[in-house]
Amino acid sequence: MPDIVTIDRLGHQGDGTASLGEKQIFVPFTLEGEKVLLSGLPGRGNHREVAEIVEPSPDRISPICPHFGDCGGCQLQHFSHEPYLAWKRALLVSELEREGMDVDVAGPVSFPAASRRRAVLTAIHTSGGTQLGFQERGSHEVIDIETCPVMTGELQAALPAVRSLAGAFVPPTAKGKPGSVRVTMLSCDNGIDIAFAHGGKVTARDLKTAARHPASKHFLRISLNGEVLHARQRPILTAGIARVSPPPEAFAQAVAGAEQAMADLVCEHLSPCKRTADLFAGFGTFALRLAQNSMVDAYEFDAPALAALDRAWRETGGALKTITHERRDLFRRPVMASELKKIDGAVFDPPRAGAEAQARELAMSKVRKVAAVSCNPQTLARDLRILIEGGYKLVSVTTIDQFAFTPHLETVALLER
């Protein structure tokens, strides 16, 4: 007899949870309160697939993408906007409560669907030609895409050219395993930067391909494995009054509006400070804006990112206050409290692992104002607890829905002593 279950809630990854006998199962593409008929096919671990939505939720809507359900990129296009935002906000609230914090959480601030200016795809060769797309849900197969409604219009329009050029860089099959190339697209102020990466070496043939391929004219710069093969112009992103040229494959905020919203919160909070520290600075998303009002000490492990930051600062011709920079692994060697004696404001924006070691040093410092930026509610809650125990109080917490239709959430938390 087919199994019919009622979805209890949505889990942290966006799958519905339900009880099947004494077992908890996860059912993708379902919503709280729905009755669903489960497929008889075996799932992965405790995951099951849906055969039919027997009683749909009033919050269910039609997905906007023809690849929804197959592509592993968007999990929640079936969820209407306001309830989706409320669920996403609750992800952070639950983590803060777990750490003993009962605070008001604003947002999420959201943006139009077609706002993603940065996308990472995969290209492979098949008997039918070059496939370009995202990984299939639950597998390593590539879903070939013709459109992606979360990308900016500029990136979507470039997909045919990307597919054509990517095909020239896919390595041959080796030991029975098809070759593939990772493709990073970044829509900049003046056009599209494209970076390819695979496990092989850069050859003279690659240089010729980048220079002569008909599709190359569509891109500002073409790189392979971090090496620039061909460039018509430097790609440019604006950060306040500065113009920064990011290194190939550099981390950049995926939505320009989200970056500006985060920067506005950080800069306003730290505006009274005379000297600030930008921890995990990247290529200067915050540092270049903060330097309009204060001296900045920037710390970052990625050397090309720091070089881009320094160049952007110098090219402002003295319009910004001094930015010093240091290459430093803040996970292994955080900036110590004793080194922060002259700092009265700080911002940190770490990877998903958070900034535990750095938060402990800040907690022992006399830095007056701190802005904590995070893409992971769990590690943010932990880091905030460390700061609060060190004598800080939370001023505000704002969530930002940079990655629409996914469980990923950006947060800016502002603290002061």
Give the tens place of pLDDT for each residue, 28-79.
999 999 999 998 776 667 889 999 999 999 999 999 999 999 998 899 999 9
Q: Give the pLDDT confidence score for residue 90 in this predicted structure.
A: 96
Helix segments in 275-368, DSSP class H: 287-290, 303-314, 356-363
**Burial class of 100 by CB neighbour count within 10 A (0 to 12, 13 to 18, 19+):** exposed
pLDDT tens per residue, range 124-180: 988 888 999 998 887 888 999 999 999 999 999 999 999 999 999 998 876 667 789
pLDDT tens per residue, range 84-136: 999 999 999 999 999 999 999 999 999 999 999 999 999 998 888 899 999 88
Percent of the chain with pLDDT over 70: 98
Residue 1 has pLDDT above 60, yes or no: no
d(CA 174, CA 127): 16
d(CA 101, CA 222): 47
* Among the listed residues 355, 384, 372, 370, the one whose alpha carbon sits nearest the alpha carbon of residue 410: 372
Residue partners of 268: CB distance under 8 A and separation at least 6:
none
On the CB side of 34, CA atoms within 13 Å amount to 25
CA distances from 166 to 156, 170, 185 (A): 15, 6, 11
Q: At how many degrees (to 10) do helices 81-98 and 377-389 cross? A: 40
pLDDT band at 21 (very low <50, low <70, confident <90, very high): confident
d(CA 285, CA 281): 7
For the question of residue 375 being annotated catalytic, the response is yes
Write phi, then psi, for 228 (nearest 5 degrees). Answer: -75, 120
Long-range pairs for 361-364 at CB < 8 Å and ≥24 separation? 361/334, 361/335, 361/336, 361/337, 362/337, 362/387, 362/390, 363/387, 363/389, 363/390, 363/391, 363/392, 364/337, 364/390
Write down how long the chain is.
Answer: 417
d(CA 31, CA 45): 20
Q: Give the pLDDT confidence score for residue 176 in this predicted structure.
A: 66
For the chain, how long is the longest CA-to-CA vector?
75
Q: Give the pLDDT confidence score for residue 172 in this predicted structure.
A: 83
Q: What is the three-state SS of 294-316?
A: CEEEEEECCHHHHHHHHHHHHCC
Q: What is the DSSP string of 49-74?
A: -EEEEEE--TTB---S-TTBTTBSS-
Residue partners of 404: CB distance under 8 A and separation at least 6:
74, 110, 111, 113, 115, 116, 150
Rounded to 5°, the CA angle 332-336-337 comes to 150
* Among the listed residues 182, 50, 71, the one whose alpha carbon sits nearest the alpha carbon of residue 137: 71
Write phi, then psi, for 207 (nearest 5 degrees). Answer: -60, -45
**Burial class of 407 by CB neighbour count within 10 A (0 to 12, 13 to 18, 19+):** middle
Q: Give the pLDDT confidence score for residue 126 in this predicted structure.
A: 86
d(CA 108, CA 76): 15
d(CA 363, CA 312): 31
Instruction: Pick the catalytic residue from 148, 188, 267, 375.
Output: 375
Identity of the residue numbered 81: H
Residue 254 has pLDDT above 70, yes or no: yes
